[in-house]
Chains A and B, each alone.
Chain A
Amino acid sequence: MSTTDPIVNKPLHVTVNGIEQPVEDIPEQLMMLDYLNEYRNLTGTRFGCGIGVCRACTVIVDHEDGRSEEIRTCITGAHYFEGKSIRTVEGHAERDENGDVAKLSEVQQQFLDHFSFQCSYCAPGFVNAATVLVERLQREPIPRSQLEATISDALESHLCRCTGYVRYFRAVRAAVLAMPGTTVEG
């Protein structure tokens, strides 16, 4: 008796970077990372460790109540995202009518200005994590004195094998401080 289940396809409804994706039949056991890379040709989301440790595969889930959340796509099935809206690293910059990048997000620009990227493999995860942090602080500002510790808490689970942590850290701090309403005195 086979103990392996046959592969079953199911339709997936998901919004990526503000665009409802064409509904396709997707294997029910496909990981979200493979869906993005192979079905949507969104290759910015990276396969790193494949076991949910390095977080290069992190995307953002946008909840209806305005909260945004990090999710690791290498260990989360595509159908987990049924009916959900997500953002990938391709979705942060403003684009012109031709679809070309017109203006980077504050986080992306600060990463460039601080030379945070080296090999860039972990960058999509860091961009998404930092964006989630900035958005959280815009909703729930913190005292300025807690900023450094808050950044560390938010980013410490993301791995950078080039060890670019200090420049990531400085870039995120600069991004937070450049955005009004994220911190209060204290």
Chain B
Amino acid sequence: MAGYRQTAVALVLALSTGTGWAASQATAKQIERGQYLARAADCAACHTAEGGTPYAGGRAIETPFGKVYGTNITPDDEYGIGDYSADDFYHVLTQGELPDGTQLYPAMPYTSYHDIAREDSDAMYAYFMNLDGVHVQSKQTDLSWPYSMRWTLNFWNWMYAPDDDAGQRRAADDQRGRYLVDTLGHCGQCHTPRNRFGAIERDRHLQGAVIAGWQAPSLEAEALAARGWDDASLRAFMREGRSRQGSMYSEMYPVFHHSTRYLDDDDLAAMSHYLLGENPPAAARVVQKSQADDGAGRQLYLNSCAGCHGADGEGAPHVASAMTTNTALRLDSPRNLVKIIHDGIDARAFSGYERVQAMPGFGDALSDAEIATLASYLRRRWGGQQDAVTAENVADLTSAGD
């Protein structure tokens, strides 16, 4: 009798709201698939505040034009997407336009999501509609004029949004990798340079860009190989958050935390295959030897870094990344290295039980000139980068607002 009552109540509830109706139509398998796809699309990175309720919005996305806040995408009728149909959801995802005609700012990566398959959109819709609605209003976007005028986005879209036939097709594994990297993963939103209107320069696909003060490195095969990446290390980096090349930090940590660690091995292999190509270039090894003029830089390293990273840059398992194979040292730009030395890295949890303590910042302990000397030594010794970093570089890269 009790069972009958519960079923009846559930049925009435399901029929009384759109959410319930959508939920009742979705199968458990579709919902699970939707969760996987939502993770692959890394919706949480923007739509979840740090430490906040999943998908209830709140994270500020810094753009050159002002702050855009990730919205509440739980199925709350007033503040979320509770009143969306599956058609509405697909339209927002792939066209950047709300059901009421409001244009979304392209901080929502609809130019990448444009090629999301309808069945995948429906699976994500089923997943989101089966979450608990969270009755919380997300923060309002705060853009400077003229970008605060949403109607101008019509012109932006006319100029820059992809055409309907823009999707290209390749061999199966490559196609899956492309779909994960370019469409769901929207890697190009950070790793492809943008023009002054904030639009992605499609002819410089994944060639690297500066975003939110950090260098999002080139993901082209040659550039990856030059920084020491190969198939195994790329897959390990995405799955574990760490590899011999370093650990996920800055803007990539949320990508790992919310997205790449959940991807299955086949998908990680497809992404790696797509990025590195059919015949991956050999991962470069940098020949390491100290030089007579390493003096001051080497002593700074031994004094302040070697305790964890090792006198010979070998790193320490579970504690500190190796310098000998570190990808940040091999970037042409010293930007990321200098910022890390200056500001440190937060303590982070990685896959399994891997926990790494914070790296302290040395902005207070070392002068700009000392950081420049140290960075130059690190880049020359283990990065193969001969260009010296100057104190002015350090001041520029670490000034407030950068």
Q: Do A and B come from one complex?
A: yes
Within 8 A of A (CB), among B303-348: 303-304, 306-308, 311-312, 316, 319-320, 324
Once the chains bind, are B308 and A79 in contact (CB under 8 Å)?
no
Bound-state CA distance A75–B306 (Å) is 7
Indicate if B5 sits at the interface (CB-CB under 8 A): no
Q: How many A-B residue pairs have CB under 8 A?
A: 47
Question: Across the two chains, which residue of chain B brings its CB closest to A2?
Answer: B289
Taking the closest CB of chain B, its distance from the CB of A136, in whole angstroms, is 15
Bound-state CA distance A129–B288 (Å) is 39
Indicate if A21 sits at the interface (CB-CB under 8 A): no
Once the chains bind, are B360 and A79 in contact (CB under 8 Å)?
no
Bound-state CA distance A2–B287 (Å) is 10
Contact of A79 among B288, B290, B303 (CB under 8 A): B303
Once the chains bind, are A5 and B307 in contact (CB under 8 Å)?
no
Bound-state CA distance A3–B304 (Å) is 20
Contact of A1 among B287, B303, B307 (CB under 8 A): B287
Indicate if A4 sits at the interface (CB-CB under 8 A): yes
Indicate if A164 sits at the interface (CB-CB under 8 A): no
Indicate if B357 sits at the interface (CB-CB under 8 A): yes
Bound-state CA distance A31–B303 (Å) is 8
Indicate if B369 sits at the interface (CB-CB under 8 A): no
Encoded as 1 (CB less than 8 Å from any A CB) or 0, chain B from 19 to 51 comes to 000000000000000000000000000000000
Once the chains bind, are A4 and B312 in contact (CB under 8 Å)?
yes
Once the chains bind, are B307 and A31 in contact (CB under 8 Å)?
yes
Contact of A77 among B307, B316, B320 (CB under 8 A): B307
Bound-state CA distance A1–B302 (Å) is 21
Taking the closest CB of chain A, its distance from the CB of B183, in whole angstroms, is 41
Once the chains bind, are A51 and B320 in contact (CB under 8 Å)?
yes
Once the chains bind, are B299 and A5 in contact (CB under 8 Å)?
no
Taking the closest CB of chain A, its distance from the CB of B391, in whole angstroms, is 20
Contact of B304 among A2, A74, A77 (CB under 8 A): A77
Indicate if A135 sits at the interface (CB-CB under 8 A): no
Contact of A80 among B290, B304, B312 (CB under 8 A): B304
Q: A1-B289, A3-B312 are in contact. Are A52 and B303 (CB under 8 A)?
A: no
Taking the closest CB of chain A, its distance from the CB of B302, in whole angstroms, is 5
Question: Across the two chains, which residue of chain A brings its CB closest to B324?
Answer: A3
Indicate if A163 sits at the interface (CB-CB under 8 A): no
Encoded as 1 (CB less than 8 Å from any B CB) or 0, chain A from 1 to 44 comes to 11111000000000000000000000011010000000000000
Give the size of the chain A interface in residues (CB under 8 angstroms).
17
Within 8 A of A (CB), among B267-303: 287-290, 298-299, 302-303
Once the chains bind, are A79 and B302 in contact (CB under 8 Å)?
yes
Q: A1 — which chain B residues lie within 8 A by C-beta?
A: 287, 289
Q: A1-B287, A3-B324, A80-B304 are in contact. Are A52 and B360 (CB under 8 A)?
A: yes
Within 8 A of A (CB), among B33-92: none
Taking the closest CB of chain B, its distance from the CB of A89, in whole angstroms, is 20
Q: A52 — which chain B residues lie within 8 A by C-beta?
A: 307-308, 357, 360
Q: A138 — which chain B residues lie within 8 A by C-beta?
A: none
Q: B287 — which chain A residues lie within 8 A by C-beta?
A: 1
Within 8 A of B (CB), among A67-109: 74-77, 79-80
Once the chains bind, are B288 and A3 in contact (CB under 8 Å)?
yes
Interface centre among A1, A52, A74 (most CB of B within 10 A): A52
Bound-state CA distance A74–B304 (Å) is 10
Q: B303 — which chain A residues lie within 8 A by C-beta?
A: 76-77, 79-80
Once the chains bind, are A29 and B311 in contact (CB under 8 Å)?
yes
Taking the closest CB of chain B, its distance from the CB of A78, in whole angstroms, is 8
Encoded as 1 (CB less than 8 Å from any A CB) or 0, chain B from 250 to 280 comes to 0000000000000000000000000000000
Q: A1-B289, A29-B302, A51-B319 are in contact. Are A75 and B307 (CB under 8 A)?
A: yes
Q: Would you list 28 pairs from A and B whose C-beta atoms are within 8 A, ordered by A residue?
A: A1-B287, A1-B289, A3-B288, A3-B289, A3-B324, A4-B312, A5-B290, A5-B312, A28-B298, A28-B299, A29-B302, A29-B306, A29-B311, A31-B307, A51-B307, A51-B316, A51-B320, A51-B357, A52-B308, A52-B357, A53-B357, A74-B307, A75-B307, A76-B304, A76-B307, A79-B303, A80-B303, A80-B304
A-B interface, 8 closest residue pairs, ranked by CB to CB distance from nearest: A75-B307, A80-B303, A77-B303, A29-B311, A3-B288, A29-B302, A77-B302, A4-B312
